[in-house]
């Protein structure tokens, strides 16, 4: 069954008529995902509920619909005038096994004496495509049965999956109940239970066997007295068995509370250890950050010197050529200054003490030295420059040391990032654990233990009474046998009861075998799917009582301590596994038909790894997916993972009247739209 479009009016927040087309997969189209985005409370979940309502009706209390009185748009109370009528309807067009169907459920309301009341009964219409007429109505008496043959009510949990259930731990009783409902729907096992309940027992006078058992008659008043006493004992026996069964269920619940509380209690110790680890990491972080700051400061100060020396080395040849220009053929005295020569010439006395006359040959030589001598300041500066160039020759050693320091800082920063990442993960885990375990588990264990003790005591009392009743029934067996043997009608009744009890035995065996087969098949598909999407190695078990257990690589049972994100992964994996199980075992669905999934998603708690794996192995592989979400949930990894498979995208919003309306988003602008700021 592939969804094509939905049209609805006056259904909860949808006051004005709204029509939404879904992305329809075909052989050449991989864009099989429809995104429907809205803020919380605007109408995502209502859209899923409206399809359930359309297919199965407001009386289907197992579908988690609001009360029938809350389905009609509440603004009509003030908008309708006295005696004015309003129609509420949901219409879903879908494709199944070569035919297009239109399912429509409608109800008319009227305002009378200031109150809105149902004016015409809820009506279900199913139309099928017809080559001549376009569409023809399926007979009203057969329409609902046809709808249920296309999508059995029990399978609605699989193909219309709400996000609230996704985050629920799989040990939750409601989760277990939903899973049971899904498996019963796959195999239509409810028919077996309905038959067993219909046939009943001797102690249930409203059942077939109970009614037959009550028709026995005795030949004498004494015989009738024994028959009546026996009947009352059988009723008492059945009531006691039911009470003991209820007590056993309650004991089982308390035992699970104790077991899970003990696991959770150990997590409190884990929180303490995590907090200690967090403190140590924060200390390491501060120390390493201080060390990095010191190294960075030293690195920066030395980097300037290294940079200058690098430049000096690069220009040394040019400088040297410039400094020695025009002096190739002359003798140059590096430390001879012009000031010194002038002093010698003006005093007329050489440094050696010899007098130098004006015409003295030595005087001319001294004067010639002026051409290769420099002023004192210039010579001094050149000397310093030369020293700088000499020091720059050591640049390579400095560069190696600076590179080593840079690498050391980089290494320290990497380690700092690792510590910071671990701190953030610890903070997230501690916050999650503190939220999940903000309970006094010792007190919970004590309460559950006390309650379980009381229940066991009560069970013991009920069991003693039951033993007494069964003892009385055994004492009556011989006398009842004589009474039945002496009455032809009684003999026939007991023979029929014996046959019916045999039918019950066979039915129970068949039901249990089918149930076991379904759980084994589901377990196989669940293990395959989970191993692809769950980060880490896990092993799964599903027993015939719909209990799911997940074991880690060390064979520790981690079922009750899965994180919210892990529970989402488990839930989506179960959807895929249930679909595969339904196609393999159900007699109600075509193995080769495509089936659309409507998912009111809750994926905000998933990390990028799980999002990528879920998208690759589950979401993108679904034959059709109508994905109800809010904008923030689709950012980054998720939209990147499923974006290529999106064929339609809508934004729901509340208009000025407070009614749900929508905008269709062009796919080329989808990524930009999703990453825009906003509350959606």
303-312, 389-398, 470-479, 524-533: range with lowest mean pLDDT = 389-398
Kindly give, in sequence order, each residue whose CB lies less than 8 Å from that of residue 212, ignoring residues fewer than 6 positions away: 493, 496, 497, 500
Question: What CATH class does 217-316+396-486 carry?
Answer: mainly alpha
The residue with greater pLDDT, 196 or 334, is 196
Per-residue DSSP letters for 482-534? HHHHT-HHHHHHHHHHHHHHHHHHHHHHHHHHHHHHHHHHHHHHHHHHHHHHS
Phi-psi region of 348 (alpha: psi -120 to 50; beta: other; left: phi over 0): left
The residue with greater pLDDT, 442 or 34, is 34
The pLDDT of residue 458? 92
Asked if residue 73 lies in contact with residue 10, where contact means CB atoms within 8 angstroms, the answer is yes
652 alpha-carbon distance from chain centroid: 22
Q: Do domains 2-151+589-674 and 217-316+396-486 have the same CATH topology?
A: no
- Residue written as token pair 């029929």: 496
Per-residue pLDDT tens for 447-497?
888 998 999 999 999 999 999 999 999 998 888 888 888 888 889 999 999
How many other CB atoms sit within 10 Å of the CB of residue 537?
A: 10
Q: How far apart are CA 642 and CA 410, in angstroms?
A: 36
The pLDDT of residue 641? 80
Average pLDDT over residues 576-602: 75
Q: pLDDT-derived band of residue 363, with 50, 70 and 90 as boundaries? A: confident
Asked if residue 629 lies in contact with residue 35, where contact means CB atoms within 8 angstroms, the answer is yes
Average pLDDT, the chain: 79
% of the chain residues with pLDDT over 90 = 15
CATH, domain range 2-151+589-674: 3.40.50.300
Helix axes 140-150, 44-56, angle to 10 degrees: 130
Average pLDDT over residues 82-94: 91
DSSP H or E stretch at residue 576? helix 564-585
Q: How far apart are CA 49 and CA 65, in angstroms?
A: 6
Degrees, nearest 5: CA angle 91-182-595: 50
Tell me the whole-structure pTM to 2 decimals.
Answer: 0.56
Asked if residue 82 lies in contact with residue 118, where contact means CB atoms within 8 angstroms, the answer is no
Closest C-alpha among 474, 501, 493, 495 to residue 217: 493
Domain boundaries, the chain: 2-151+589-674, 170-208+488-588, 217-316+396-486
Closest C-alpha among 452, 423, 467, 45 to residue 241: 467
Strands, E, within 571-669: which ranges? 596-600, 624-629, 646-654, 660-664
Q: Is the dihedral of CA 500, 506, 511, 512 positive or negative?
A: positive
The pLDDT of residue 611? 77
Q: How far apart are CA 165 and CA 568, in angstroms?
A: 9
Q: Is the dihedral of CA 10, 11, 16, 17 positive or negative?
A: negative
Average pLDDT over residues 221-244: 90
Asked if residue 412 lies in contact with residue 420, where contact means CB atoms within 8 angstroms, the answer is no
The pLDDT of residue 322? 66
Residue 505 burial class via C-beta count within 10 angstroms: exposed 0-12, middle 13-18, buried 19 and up: exposed
Average pLDDT over residues 315-331: 63
Q: pLDDT-derived band of residue 120, with 50, 70 and 90 as boundaries? A: confident
Kindly give, in sequence order, each residue whose CB lies less than 8 Å from that of residue 606, ignoring residues fewer than 6 positions away: 565, 568, 569, 614, 638
SS3 555: coil
Kindly give, in sequence order, each residue whose CB lies less than 8 Å from that of residue 96, ignoring residues fewer than 6 positions away: 1, 2, 150, 593
Residues facing 137 on adjacent strands: 127
DSSP H or E stretch at residue 322? helix 221-323
Asked if residue 44 lies in contact with residue 35, where contact means CB atoms within 8 angstroms, the answer is no
Q: Is the pLDDT of residue 618 over 80?
A: no
Per-residue pLDDT tens for 629-670?
877 777 666 777 888 888 999 999 888 888 889 999 998 888
The residue with greater pLDDT, 43 or 379, is 43
Q: pLDDT-derived band of residue 415, with 50, 70 and 90 as boundaries? A: confident
Q: How far apart are CA 323 and CA 79, in angstroms?
A: 99
Give me 591's structure tokens.
Answer: 């193995």
């Amino acid at each position: 069954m592939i969804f094509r479009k939905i049209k609805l009016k006056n259904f909860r927040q949808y006051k004005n008529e709204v029509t939404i087309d879904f992305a329809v997969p075909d052989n050449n189209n991989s864009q099989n995902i429809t995104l429907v985005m809205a803020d919380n409370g605007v109408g995502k979940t209502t859209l899923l509920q409206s399809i359930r309502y359309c297919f199965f009706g407001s009386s289907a209390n197992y579908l988690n619909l609001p009360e029938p009185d809350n389905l009609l748009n509440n603004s009509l109370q003030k908008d309708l005038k006295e005696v004015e009528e309003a129609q509420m309807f949901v219409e879903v067009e879908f494709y199944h096994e070569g035919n297009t169907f239109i399912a429509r459920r409608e109800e008319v309301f009227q305002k009378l004496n200031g109150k809105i009341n149902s004016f015409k009964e809820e009506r279900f219409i199913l139309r099928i495509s017809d080559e001549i007429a376009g569409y023809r109505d399926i007979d009203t008496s057969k329409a609902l049965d046809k709808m249920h043959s296309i999508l059995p009510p029990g399978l609605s949990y699989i193909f219309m999956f709400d996000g609230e259930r996704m985050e629920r731990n799989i040990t939750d009783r409601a989760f277990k109940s939903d899973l049971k409902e899904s498996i019963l729907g796959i195999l239509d096992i409810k028919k077996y239970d309905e038959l067993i309940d219909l046939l009943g027992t001797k102690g249930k006078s409203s059942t077939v066997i109970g009614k037959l058992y009550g028709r026995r008659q005795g030949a004498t008043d004494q015989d009738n007295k024994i028959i009546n006493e026996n009947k009352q004992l059988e009723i008492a026996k059945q009531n006691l068995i039911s009470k003991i069964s209820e007590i056993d269920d309650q004991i089982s619940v308390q035992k699970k509370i104790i077991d899970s509380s003990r696991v959770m209690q150990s997590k409190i110790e884990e929180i303490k250890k995590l907090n200690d680890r967090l403190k140590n990491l924060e200390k390491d972080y501060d120390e390493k950050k201080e060390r990095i700051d010191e190294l960075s400061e030293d690195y920066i100060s030395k980097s300037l010197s290294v940079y200058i020396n690098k430049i000096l080395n690069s220009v040394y040849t040019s400088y040297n050529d410039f400094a020695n220009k025009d002096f190739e053929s002359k003798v140059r005295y590096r430390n001879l200054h012009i000031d010194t020569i002038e002093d010698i010439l003006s005093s007329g006395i050489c440094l050696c003490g010899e007098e130098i006359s004006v015409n003295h040959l030595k005087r001319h030589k001294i004067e010639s030295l002026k051409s290769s001598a420099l002023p004192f300041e210039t010579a001094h500066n050149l000397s310093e420059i030369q020293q700088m160039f000499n020091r720059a020759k050591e640049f390579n050693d400095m560069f190696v040391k600076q590179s080593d320091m840079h690498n050391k800082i980089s290494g320290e920063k990497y380690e700092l990032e690792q510590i910071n990442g671990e701190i953030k993960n610890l903070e997230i885990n501690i916050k999650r654990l503190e939220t999940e375990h903000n309970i006094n588990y010792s007190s919970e264990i004590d309460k559950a233990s006390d309650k379980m003790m009381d229940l066991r005591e009560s069970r013991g009392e009920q069991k003693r009474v039951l033993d007494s009743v069964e003892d009385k029934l055994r004492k009556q067996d011989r006398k009842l046998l004589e009474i039945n043997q002496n009455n032809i009608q009684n003999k026939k009744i007991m023979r029929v009861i014996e046959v019916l009890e045999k039918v019950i035995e066979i039915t129970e065996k068949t039901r249990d075998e089918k149930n076991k087969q379904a759980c084994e098949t589901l377990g196989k598909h669940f293990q395959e799917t989970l191993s692809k999407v769950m980060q880490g190695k896990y092993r799964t078990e599903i027993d015939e009582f719909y209990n799911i257990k997940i074991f880690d690589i060390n064979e520790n049972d981690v079922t009750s301590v899965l994180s919210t994100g892990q529970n989402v992964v488990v839930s989506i994996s179960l959807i895929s596994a249930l679909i595969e199980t339904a196609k393999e075992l159900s007699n109600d669905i075509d193995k080769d038909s495509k089936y659309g999934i409507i998912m009111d998603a809750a994926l905000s708690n998933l990390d990028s790894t799980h999002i990528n794996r879920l998208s690759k192995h589950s979401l993108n592989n679904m034959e059709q997916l109508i994905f109800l979400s809010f904008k923030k949930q689709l950012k980054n990894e998720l939209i990147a993972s499923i974006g290529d498979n999106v064929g339609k995208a809508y934004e729901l919003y509340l208009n000025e009247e407070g009614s749900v309306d929508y905008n269709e988003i062009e796919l080329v602008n989808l990524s930009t739209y999703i990453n825009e700021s906003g509350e959606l």
